[in-house]
Structure 1
Amino acid sequence: MSEEKELSYKESIVKARDHMLRFPLVPVKGVPLMNLIANVFDSISAFRPDPSDILVATYPKAGTTWTQEILDLLLHNGNAEACKRAPTPVRSPFLEIVPPPPIPSGLELLEKTDPPRIIKTHLPVQLVPAGFWEEKCKVIYCARNAKDNLVSYYFFDLMNQTQPEPGPFDGYIHKFMQGKLAWGSWYDHVKDYWAAREKKNILFIFYEDMKENPRREVERIMRYLNMSLSDEVINRIVDLTSFKNMKENPMSNYSCVPMPVFDETISPFMRKVTSFIGCDQDGQGHGHGRSSLKDLTVKSSKVLVLITALHEMGLHRPEERVRTIEFQEKHQETNTMITSW
């Protein structure tokens, strides 16, 4: 009797989609995670990486796929064809994800992937498996302006039929502020990785810096990995990881996740936001997002501004020590406001 043909990643999602639903959140050490993740979290915590593995850590919708694609191209010397060998979630497995069978979990994909592996996680720093620190793996954290991150996450939760129902935007803002979304508080996520960056040798990068000068940030990542590539290769990587090229690339645009799991009639997976009120590349805003933000209470508006200031004031240029002091002062002020929220 012949063995059953192994399903492709897309085929496995198609086969499982009748079992896909908006999975509830369960707290894991105080952090809300999807129940399927929570059920096997001991196995996730016990994961042992290879010292050559690279961990890409972000809060959801903060430049994860962009960073993954840059890394894959760096490791393959800018070879675009090598990076088309499989879609992003197969080339760079999502450590903690546990979808319904027969979709492989992140741990199952990692078992089939030879080191050095690019591993994705949204786990806050305190939940990252200890093996990454013990093996001294390279860890790259990408942070994004809170307001843009909020809007991007909202539209992702609308279109992703496995995430909890986001509800009206007004209420979503409050859940974001209170850390009640999947993977918890944006504020704690960014703050805690920032605090650990020197002790754990984490490269801390910013989505906004990548937009402003992608070549500079590609070179920073390259140096962190102790690599040296020609200007021609670096320029090619910058071009291949532009928004336009990634959106058109079926290996990076998540077209491997079919309807109705990712309902791109609601919002595309790769959705270019030019400001926190949700304007797309063509400059057209989303009316309900704009009006909801206008109708925010003064208090929640202040908290959003203060959280965003962590990037604009304290985090934006980590090499400037004065910024660190400003960050610490702003963190205290923001923390006080959030605690009293």
Structure 2
Amino acid sequence: MSMQHTKTKRAVKPKQSAEEVGPTEASGSVLTSSQEDVSKKTKSKKTEIEELRSFLSQEIASKKEQLKSFKEKLNFKEELKSLKEEIKEEIIASVHEVLEAWKATMEENLTQQIEEVNVKMNSMESSFNSRLDPIIQTLNQQNTAITQLEDIAETSAQTTKKLLSENKRLSDLLSKITEKCIDLEGRQRGQNLRIVGVQESREGNRDLREFAADLLKKVLNLDQKPLLGRAHRALGRRTRADAPARQLIVKVQYDHVLDDMMKKMVRSRDLLFEGDKISIFRDYPVEVTRKRVLFTETRRKLKNIQDLRYGLMYPATLRVTYKWKEYFFTDHKEALDFAQDIENKTDD
């Protein structure tokens, strides 16, 4: 409206100036044409302004509609948000109610079950106590008995230890005494000889000592009869007529005579008396004889090896001389291994 008002004022002013100056023909025509142009332009501008106004009105209306729809949408979102919050609150409330109800139910059930379990446990405890009391009493008695047994065992262990120590001492003492007894027996029998193979009653009515002296002088080719302290048959009786004759045991009175006899016995291979083959041995204790017999196999092997000499020393030590070296053996197994080694070397 303000724009139209200003334009009309501009258009009116020429008319006022024309009347005041005084119209002429030339100036009148020019003014008319310019007024028409101005009016045309004014109309065209008005038209443009109207079109612009209508366009702007339409745009404003459309924007208002859009703004209205947007506001409606915003209102819907707010309502939706509030609805969600309400639903959420309702769900949470319902869940809380369900949980509270479930919790109450569970607490009640658990309380009942706990009470039942407590009742059962109390009954079981009383039952167990009634059963365990005699067991506990028995265990206490057994613990007491075990303690007593431990004390007794400790005392027995100490006593056993002392007894073992004493037994060892006595065993060592017995071994020494046994060795001494064997040595004494060997010394007592040191001048005794055992003659094997002499028939029973061969001596007839003669004194057995005289008969044995004649036998030794004849068999060993002695210059004179040896002086014998005593002579007798081995103890025991013959159980059968065809049983072997008992050994004849004699005691030579002098050591030098016994040594001469032993040297001649070593040189002699076969000893004969009135057609019977006899053997003469030193009279050793039984224990010594058993140990010496263990070297029999070794002595048999060594006998056939050249440049070797051997002898069985008292009580039971094998002495071997081979290639100017001497060896002593108290263990028959070691001696046998030594003899086999030498025998294998000589065979190679």
TM bin (shorter chain):
under 0.3
Which of 1 and 2 has greater Rg? 2
TM-score (norm 2): 0.18
Q: Which has the higher helix share?
A: 2
TM-score (norm 1): 0.19
Which has the higher relative contact order, 1 or 2, with Cα contacts under 8 A spaced 6 or more apart?
Answer: 1
Q: Which has the higher strand share?
A: 2
